[in-house]
Structure 1
Amino acid sequence: MFNRTQKEYTVVSSAKPQHTYPLDAWSIRETSFDTQSHFLDETLFALGNGYIGLRGSYEDGYSGPANTTLDGSYLNGFYESETIHYPETAYGLAKTNQFMLNVPNGKGISLWIDDERFDLLHGTVEQYERSLDFRTGVLLRKVLWTSSKGQRISIVSRRVVCFEHKHLYAIEYTVTPLNFSGKLRLVASLDGAVKNIEAGDDPRIGSAVSGPALQLVDSQQEDDFSALLHHTSNSGFALVSATASKLDYSGTHTLRLLKNGQRLEQSYEVQATEGLAIRLTKFGSYFSSRDYPAKELMYRSRDTLAQAQATGFAELLLEQEQYLANFWQQADVEIAGDDALQQGIHFNQFHLLQSVGRDGKTNISAKGVTGEGYEGHYFWDTEIYIFPFFLYSKPEIAKKLLEYRYAGLEQARQRARQMSHERGALYPWRTIAGEECSAYFPAGTAQYHINADIAYSIKLYFEATGDQDYLVNFGAEILMETARIWLGIGSYDREGRFCINQVTGPDEYTALVNNNYYTNAMARLHLNFAADVAERIAAKQPEQFSRIAALMALDNAEPAAWRRAAQLMNLPYDAALQIHAQDDSFLSKKVWDFANTPKEKYPLLLNYHPMVIYRHQVCKQADVVLALLLLSDEFSKEDKKRDFDYYEPLTTHDSSLSSCIYSIIASEIGYHEQAYDFFMETARLDLDNTHGNTHYGVHTAAMAGTWMGVAYGFAGMRVVKGALRFAPTLPTQWQHYTFKIHFQGALLEVRVEPGRTEYRLLQGETLRLSHRGEEITLTLSAPVKSLA
């Protein structure tokens, strides 16, 4: 039966002291300054717009220990590269790493009262509040502070990273002297002397940077404008970081421009009057040669900041609120009965929106744009966990994620050649610009299932949107080039079964195995879908098929070969246990000694050599159980229950990708209490820092897994052969829940209450779906159906 032991170990061993945030469905808020949670708070209060990411560090600085802060500013897709040095190398190993850079810091606004600098760790903090509102996208901080000389001031800061303007962020910083008049100094800075975290013992954190990644080429400073021009040392990019500041104050003030190395300052000397507010508004921008020719970057920076100043801070806030109102109108998941969960869901959805690239050239990294964990790399997390959320909530963003994969198709072809495949394309396990960056191939490059994961997302997209143009112009080429790899890596055994050997499945505690069930099952889906698409386009759009076939040098016999391999795919099954074996050898290994593994030894990857872990029956995350979800119609409920019962006790859930999948399957097979526990761990994983590493960035896959837990788990949503199905349940802790999905041109609202589910057509003319096997049709004239 279901065993909670390993989950409890994981949570206990990884949890760190938390900051307690008041429960509010639409915001996170802290009401006291807490140095113990400061590092974590910098992540939780981060802002982004899919390109720019600003950690929630204070404008006026933090003087605590260096290991309790990371004042990071990041750009999705902007990276440095370095050669990977192997003490013992081999042919075909990844040659170059790419890592997201901490770029010049334009947030800085320091405040001086006479000769004393405002510092939360000095003087007296009388009142403090900071909040991040998910409906306005504004980070707000209010501080009442008394200096060592007894001078009291009020500080109110507001920060926004603009969704409507890719390259722009803005800060409003208001200071009011409360019991004195005298000299104040406000210094708006742009600081290029930044660096990345250095790699440590945890492989999930930091970059092996050998020296400064950004080289200063030029700086400009005049009136209210400051700019730094940098070049990366190896990746060949140019970057202009710029700010423009304006002081609003009716009293006497002067401006001085200062330069200290890579730090540019606009210093405002103010003769302050008691009770009279002083407001500094600061606009910042980042432009790189990944988007525009290098010669245009400075001009574009000036122009963007000038337009922002003309627009004004208040108007930018209004634009931000309107953008988010539209997002929440489509994406909001409403839950009545659990305030902690409602807050967690909104927090997760907001951070996903902040983190995802939407230009077709960038993706979404495992940590978003909130921290440097995993070096800003993109993984399969996108296709299997994050893509469904955007597909059903904001499909135009989902399409851009697929366009990113097409942009990397040529690099995937090159990687296939490096891996000795004469034809086809092999997508990288971890990357930014398209090249493989995984230096540890047993748990990286060996995960060939990345090709099938991308194919799965294309299939999901086509079934949900019917976007034939995308399929013909982009998707078909990806599908067929990547399908070729399975015939390149696989072979037929003496019994005629198609086998795929020496690969690693989703479970990273089991590596380099033969016939990983998930990989083979997903490859079968991939091969069949690629053949379907080839046949459909050949029959209906022969000219387009000829074009695609010519691009690929596709042999006429290839689709039939894909069909045959799919039909004869080896899918391991143990008849005695009546379960799907994770691979050919998994069940022959000894079970990990969970009873005698102390809690401080979790996660296992930080405490045991990989070979020790690989010799045991122990899983880091869902593997076979993930296949039960993605290929749901291929298994009976009894199959799912037996597989779940066998694999869950063997799973540590050391991966943040695990608990959401186990929650969904537990819900489907009737383990409702366990489903809810797993779901709660997913929903508040970052807010409660249950994995103990959120200070290095959020966990975007788990965040999207929360949405999946509602839609796929409790609502039982599945899409099978293009048909939309639901089998809703209502957790006993909830009064009701509601969510919306885009599907086949319609917007559907699903509301589940005790004893009743209501389906409401909000947009579109007609939508067909099934409820517990009963087929229903929603139309403009009859847009609502209520069923038991």
Structure 2
Amino acid sequence: MQVRNHRFPPDPWCLREDAPDAASHFLNETLFALGNGYIGVRGTAEEGWSGPAGTSRDGTYLNGFHESEPIHYPETAFALAKTNQFMLNVPNAKGIAIWIDDGNASSGERFDPLQGTLGTYRRSLDLRHGVLERTLTWTAPSGRSIALRSRRLVCLDNRHLLALEVEVTPLNFSGTVRFVSSLDGAVRNLEAGDDPRIGSAVSGASLQLLSAEQEGDFSALVQRTRNSGFTLVSATLTEVADRPAVQAQCRRDDLRLEQTYAIPVAQGEKAAVRKYACYHTSRDYPETELMPRSRDLLDAARAEGFDALVVRQAAYLAGFWQQADVEIDGDDLLQQGIRFNQYHLLQSVGRDGKTNISAKGVTGEGYEGHYFWDTEIYIFPFFLYNKPEIARALLEYRWAGLESARRRARQMSHAKGALYPWRTIAGEECSAYFPAGTAQYHINADIAYSIRQYLDATGDDAWLRAHGAEIVMETARIWTGIGSYDRQGRFVINEVTGPDEYTALVNNNYYTNAMAQAHLEFAAAIAARLASEFPEDHARIAQSMSLDPAEPEEWANAARLMRLPYDAELRIHEQDDSFLSKKPWDFANTPAENYPLLLNYHPMVIYRHQVCKQADVVLALLLLSSRFELDDKRRDFDYYEAVTTHDSSLSSCIFSIVAAEVGYAGKAYDYFMETARLDLDDTHGNTCHGVHTAAMAGTWLGVAYGFGGMRTDGGSLRFAPTLPAQWQGYRFRIQLRGCLLEVGVNVAGTTYRLARGDALRFTHHGRPVELTAAQPEHQEAA
């Protein structure tokens, strides 16, 4: 594995920066971002950033709050996506500028870490307490010195609220500290450039000002999106801490509202302000309630106090880590990477059933805030086995989008069924490049796969009957709509794109066909089970869908006769009907600077070659593990590893897991490390535009599915643990059927402990194990 220069000290519970650096500032804004699944605030300091152009992107984002713009095609065609949706950069509520003087306001100097002299400096993101803290000393050009401490949090138990505190102590003078607290609505989204992964085709300012309110310590902006029609209220409440009332001086400059607090201080005396901010939108509440809700929430937050919010934040995270923590013995860099990734997943995921988790979370504008299949295949398992209530909320989001998926199916000339969008926020297809977007029909099977995982893990028949069965069956209809039987009687699925986006519009993509087969089998089984066990629900759903009684047998027949390409000579599963006939990519003569290929070669050049962007067949080996023999997995891995660039951040974690299973311990570890610190070490060079949530979740998969050998396909739980040579041990936990199971592996062997629940059965390297409340622990020697 390539040795990288790790920029942060390897603290297992903290991300720490010991000096500000313009070269890494843009990236660090992402890494030090805070969020709660709804609000996301990039890690720019309260006073802003005066560094060179292109070294900062100050942003605040609301998951699901979006603008829409028409997609303009020079050459259009029927049923191409018509409208794009993009997550908005909303008003910046965290701004606090600081001015110091010796009693003469005309000699005031603004605090700027890039001017004057910076002494001590530390910024840290505490993963146990959920607080971003910065401490420093600074000397102004005049020679006046101050100590500064700031703390910030985005409340994990109140999705509308964020809070911060800034303290300044004069070290060698007495005078005045002025805090200028701002609510800045003059923000814009990043405009698209040559990289298709970044920015939006925004035609102008997306938020129009309706009104502004400012009185005393309170400020609020009321704005509306131009096209999507949502109203937003952004509001702040600022207070001077631990002092008699200091009157705010209010100022408005167009879209910017300010309150200035001038605090006289003696040398060594602390001056501090606390600020509470909130966002409410008409996506969630009637427009008339937005301002009253904002005022009430801010008043309640001030009454509770900043320190109490800090305590609540720590309590929330203590519960999260008690269930979700993955512990590594022997590698602090890796431990830091795993916990950092899990923390950002918690910060990024929507929990209300109306929002999802975007490819970049709420940390940046990459991929425009769109939701992809990343959720179901990469991210969903992490929440399913650690916080199943969040997993259910993610499925509720898909239920909420079912009608949009039905409409999309009609646009795509399917007489019945539902086709989920490849890229979306509100449910409509937003992918303007259909060969790597709409053509990825496997999104339907991915969603069905996650529903099956959820039902196997929770036994939630109530959700199956209320929502899950209808989603699974409606989406299964698409396969019999798009597929057909060839002259040999095989069921074939033509002109689709699989996970590998360097191979587009092919016949019988192996991953798509194999996942469609499992989907069709599942749909037929659900129909039979409903008819047998829940006839009233079956009748209701059948009526709602206009389900023909013959359809489930048609699904089962298509699954039975599904074409799954296989090359008998190479003894590998073919990625599609044409993949092996293509000219291999000339890797030896492709310079390193030409990766990723998508930024340096026309798509048609790439499509004509035998080259993969990411795991495709190899992903099927994981998801449908029980359908393959170990030797088949090894041969497939060997072949496809040689032609895969891993230009996608979704790739290395899957190769790590399968490498561990087939016995390639070194490769498994190298691929895993590439995943675990992908964002911390910026290995893909674009973390500045947001974290990679799928890779973050892939790190957890790498421990549980990879080294832990965990599999659940087929409804049974099984483990086949291995211990990487670089570690002394590791532990992870999973929730399943109301039980909490802890798995610990070290040089002596594996220990399974039932931490909660009555009984749990599974296998260890094929041998049955049963844990009960009376006998909650079982050990297996190495």
Range class of TM-score, shorter chain: over 0.9
After superposition, the C-alpha distances for 1:430-452 in whole angstroms (9 at most, x for unaligned) are: 00000000000000000000000
Instruction: Identify which of 202, 205, 208 aligns with 2:195.
Output: 202
Instruction: Identify which of 400, 403, 410 aligns with 1:417.
Output: 410
Q: Does structure 1 retain, via aligned residues, the 8 Å contact 2:177–2:271? A: no
Alpha-carbon distance between aligned partners in 1 of 2:176 and 2:767, rounded to the nearest angstrom: 75
Residues 615-624 or 261-270, more deviating: 261-270
SS at match of 1:101: strand
Asked if 1:273 is matched to 2:266, the reply is yes
Alpha-carbon distance between aligned partners in 1 of 2:245 and 2:420, rounded to the nearest angstrom: 61
Asked if 1:87 is matched to 2:74, the reply is yes
SS at match of 2:743: strand
In structure 2, the partner of 1:723 is 716
In structure 2, the partner of 1:779 is 772
Instruction: Identify which of 35, 39, 42 aligns with 2:26.
Output: 39
After superposition, the C-alpha distances for 1:591-637 in whole angstroms (9 at most, x for unaligned) are: 00000001110000000000000000000000000000000000000
In structure 2, the partner of 1:369 is 362
Alpha-carbon distance between aligned partners in 2 of 1:281 and 1:477, rounded to the nearest angstrom: 49
SS at match of 2:46: coil
SS at match of 1:650: coil
Q: Does structure 1 retain, via aligned residues, the 8 Å contact 2:97–2:181? A: yes
In structure 2, the partner of 1:303 is 296
Residues 245-254 or 706-715, more deviating: 245-254
TM-score normalised by the chain length of structure 1: 0.98
Instruction: Identify which of 380, 391, 411 aligns with 1:387.
Output: 380
Alpha-carbon distance between aligned partners in 2 of 1:562 and 1:380, rounded to the nearest angstrom: 23
Residues 384-393 or 64-73, more deviating: 64-73
Instruction: Identify which of 98, 106, 111 aligns with 2:93.
Output: 106
Structure 1 residue 84, shift from structure 2 partner: 0.1
In structure 1, the partner of 2:105 is none
Asked if 1:531 is matched to 2:524, the reply is yes
Q: Which amino acid aligns with 2:564?
A: L
In structure 2, the partner of 1:743 is 736
Instruction: Identify which of 759, 763, 766 aligns with 2:752.
Output: 759
What aligned pairs does 1:172-183 form with structure 2 within 5 A after superposition? 172-183=165-176
Q: Does structure 1 retain, via aligned residues, the 8 Å contact 2:656–2:667? A: yes
Alpha-carbon distance between aligned partners in 2 of 1:248 and 1:159, rounded to the nearest angstrom: 15
What aligned pairs does 1:511-530 form with structure 2 within 5 A after superposition? 511-530=504-523
Structure 1 residue 251, shift from structure 2 partner: 7.1
Instruction: Identify which of 483, 488, 496 aligns with 1:490.
Output: 483
Alpha-carbon distance between aligned partners in 2 of 1:101 and 1:543, rounded to the nearest angstrom: 44
Q: Which amino acid aligns with 1:38?
A: H
Q: Which amino acid aligns with 1:483?
A: A
In structure 2, the partner of 1:243 is 236
Asked if 1:290 is matched to 2:303, the reply is no
Structure 1 residue 393, shift from structure 2 partner: 0.6
Q: Does structure 1 retain, via aligned residues, the 8 Å contact 2:240–2:274? A: yes
Q: Does structure 1 retain, via aligned residues, the 8 Å contact 2:623–2:713? A: no
What aligned pairs does 1:179-190 form with structure 2 within 5 A after superposition? 179-190=172-183
Instruction: Identify which of 396, 403, 406 aligns with 1:403.
Output: 396
Q: Which amino acid aligns with 1:170?
A: A
SS at match of 1:667: helix
In structure 2, the partner of 1:577 is 570
Residues 268-277 or 49-58, more deviating: 268-277
Residues 339-348 or 715-724, more deviating: 715-724
Structure 1 residue 182, shift from structure 2 partner: 1.1
What aligned pairs does 1:557-596 form with structure 2 within 5 A after superposition? 557-596=550-589
SS at match of 2:380: helix
Alpha-carbon distance between aligned partners in 1 of 2:589 and 2:492, rounded to the nearest angstrom: 37
In structure 2, the partner of 1:68 is 55
Structure 1 residue 744, shift from structure 2 partner: 1.3
Q: Does structure 2 retain, via aligned residues, the 8 Å contact 1:48–1:54? A: yes
TM-score normalised by the chain length of structure 2: 0.98
Q: Does structure 2 retain, via aligned residues, the 8 Å contact 1:251–1:270? A: no
Q: Which amino acid aligns with 1:190?
A: L
Alpha-carbon distance between aligned partners in 1 of 2:218 and 2:497, rounded to the nearest angstrom: 52
In structure 2, the partner of 1:23 is 10
In structure 2, the partner of 1:131 is 124
In structure 2, the partner of 1:356 is 349
Structure 1 residue 66, shift from structure 2 partner: 2.8
Q: Does structure 2 retain, via aligned residues, the 8 Å contact 1:497–1:570? A: yes
Alpha-carbon distance between aligned partners in 2 of 1:141 and 1:153, rounded to the nearest angstrom: 14
In structure 1, the partner of 2:455 is 462
In structure 2, the partner of 1:232 is 225
In structure 1, the partner of 2:35 is 48
Instruction: Identify which of 629, 653, 668 aligns with 1:660.
Output: 653
Structure 1 residue 721, shift from structure 2 partner: 2.2
Alpha-carbon distance between aligned partners in 1 of 2:156 and 2:531, rounded to the nearest angstrom: 41
Stretches of structure 2 lacking an aligned partner (at least 5 in a row): 102-107
Alpha-carbon distance between aligned partners in 2 of 1:335 and 1:392, rounded to the nearest angstrom: 19
Structure 1 residue 183, shift from structure 2 partner: 2.3
Q: Does structure 2 retain, via aligned residues, the 8 Å contact 1:19–1:37? A: no
Q: Does structure 2 retain, via aligned residues, the 8 Å contact 1:81–1:96? A: yes
Structure 1 residue 776, shift from structure 2 partner: 1.1
Stretches of structure 1 lacking an aligned partner (at least 5 in a row): none
After superposition, the C-alpha distances for 1:712-761 in whole angstroms (9 at most, x for unaligned) are: 00010001322110000000100010000001110000000113100000
Structure number with greater CO (CA < 8 Å, separation at least 6) is 1
In structure 2, the partner of 1:440 is 433
After superposition, the C-alpha distances for 1:35-56 in whole angstroms (9 at most, x for unaligned) are: 1110000000000000000000
Structure 1 residue 223, shift from structure 2 partner: 1.2
Alpha-carbon distance between aligned partners in 2 of 1:590 and 1:618, rounded to the nearest angstrom: 9
Structure 1 residue 295, shift from structure 2 partner: 0.9
Alpha-carbon distance between aligned partners in 2 of 1:636 and 1:363, rounded to the nearest angstrom: 35
Structure 1 residue 19, shift from structure 2 partner: 7.0
In structure 1, the partner of 2:137 is 144
Q: Does structure 2 retain, via aligned residues, the 8 Å contact 1:251–1:272? A: no
Q: Does structure 2 retain, via aligned residues, the 8 Å contact 1:573–1:580? A: yes
Structure 1 residue 556, shift from structure 2 partner: 0.4
In structure 2, the partner of 1:338 is 331
Alpha-carbon distance between aligned partners in 1 of 2:752 and 2:81, rounded to the nearest angstrom: 49
Instruction: Identify which of 602, 609, 615 aligns with 1:616.
Output: 609
In structure 2, the partner of 1:688 is 681
Q: Does structure 2 retain, via aligned residues, the 8 Å contact 1:252–1:270? A: no
| RMSD of aligned Cα (Å) | 1.0
> Structure 1 runs of 4+ off > 3 angstroms?
249-254
